[in-house]
Amino acid sequence: MAIENKKLVTSKAVLHDKFGRKLNSLRISITQKCNLKCFYCHREGEVASDNEMTKEEIAQIAKIAYQLGMKKVKLTGGEPLLREDLPDIISEIAEYSDEVSLTTNGVLLEKNVETLSDAGLKRVNVSLPSLVPERFKNITKKDFVEQVKDGIEAAVQNNLCPVKINMVMLKGINVDEIPNAIDFAQEVGAILQLIEFEPIQPENYAYWKTFHYDPALIEYWLKKRAVSIQENALHKRKRYILKKNSDPVIVEVVKPMHNSIFCQNCTRLRVTSDGKLKPCLLRNDNLVNIIALIRQGASSNELEEAFKEAARLREPYWRGENGKCS
């Protein structure tokens, strides 16, 4: 499928939902397959499906999103590097997106990083639940911690920056490693992103309580050591700038659970690997089936209407006491 150059694609007004939140980025899951079995994985909130989109379909969805003001695309999974056509997907999307980024577990990253960079990939997030081999294997069921660390270093060396290391904080499992993770991030030149454990069924309180670590505890620790504190526009995440041995290192804290401010500042729309527009990670009762329209030969205007319907269906999962996104 031929995709016109982005210089010829007109970007229209940014979509807003009924809560006033704008949509300016798209997160596309391109596969449910993965080569790790992390017990805490929320699988991008997807239900099981083996009906993956083709690279042409992914590109067409990203193109419509760009026309509606969603200038950034993040590819995720499963593990995106399990798709052999990933460089082609990146290359097509990069023609009309301002930034294509990738979330990966990093196992296959080192040997593919140059190809991905050449295709147009701009930056990467790499999951690293533990630096300790035995713990890493217990969490992921695979002994790949060194491959992941090598992949992170290769990404930095190939200027896929900022490289972000995603560490989901798990009570009783890896929280004691946070200082070492900060040191590793500083050593390789990456940003450490500490992420609150977020099960896909947040109402399952017992499961959540077992592994949940309160981000307020680590934020208190970081505040005492930070030379400055910034704020990321997406979700209003706090960024703590630490100085160790005169070199700065950035630590971001992502706390989505029971956080209305997080939801209030969400500007992302998701796409499932089988082609459904997904307004919220934690819901599957408001999906918009855009892939069916594409396979029926729908026009660009009809596909834009699907996006507008997804925008209308967006609601903050976590809200303030008054029920509003505030």
pLDDT of residue 234: 81
Which region among 48-57, 199-208, 229-238, 266-275 has the lowest average model confidence (pLDDT)? 199-208
236 versus 37: which is more confidently predicted? 37
Render pLDDT for 185-236 as a digit per residue (tens, 0 to 9).
Answer: 999 999 999 999 987 665 567 778 899 999 999 999 999 999 999 998 888 8
pTM of the model: 0.93
Angle at 57 between CA 52 and CA 62, to 5 degrees: 115
Residue 2, pLDDT > 70, answer: no
Q: Which neighbouring-strand residues pair with 25? A: 72, 268
Which pLDDT band, with edges at 50, 70 and 90, does 12 fall under? Answer: low
Helix (H), strand (E) counts: the chain: 11, 14
Torsions phi, psi of 9, nearest 5? Answer: -95, 125
Residue type, 162: P
Render pLDDT for 106-161 as a digit per residue (tens, 0 to 9).
Answer: 999 999 999 999 999 999 999 999 999 999 999 999 999 999 999 999 999 999 99
pLDDT of residue 4: 46
Which pLDDT band, with edges at 50, 70 and 90, does 54 fall under? Answer: very high
Kindly report the average pLDDT of the chain as a whole number: 92
Q: Which helix (H) or strand (E) holds 187?
A: helix 178-188
Residue type, 219: E
Residue 8, pLDDT > 70, answer: no
Per-domain residue ranges of the chain: 14-313
Q: Which helix (H) or strand (E) holds 301?
A: helix 300-313
Mean pLDDT within 54-65: 97
pLDDT of residue 232: 84
Which region among 4-18, 88-102, 223-237, 288-302 has the lowest average model confidence (pLDDT)? 4-18
CA distances to 196, 243, 319 from 260, in Å: 15, 31, 5
pLDDT of residue 202: 57
Answer for the pair 252, 232: CB distance below 8 angstroms, yes or no.
yes
Which pLDDT band, with edges at 50, 70 and 90, does 322 fall under? Answer: very low
CATH fit for domain 14-313, picks 3.30.1330.90, 3.20.20.70, 1.10.760.10, 2.60.120.260: 3.20.20.70
pLDDT of residue 325: 42
Q: Is 160 helix (H, G, I), strand (E, B) or coil?
A: coil
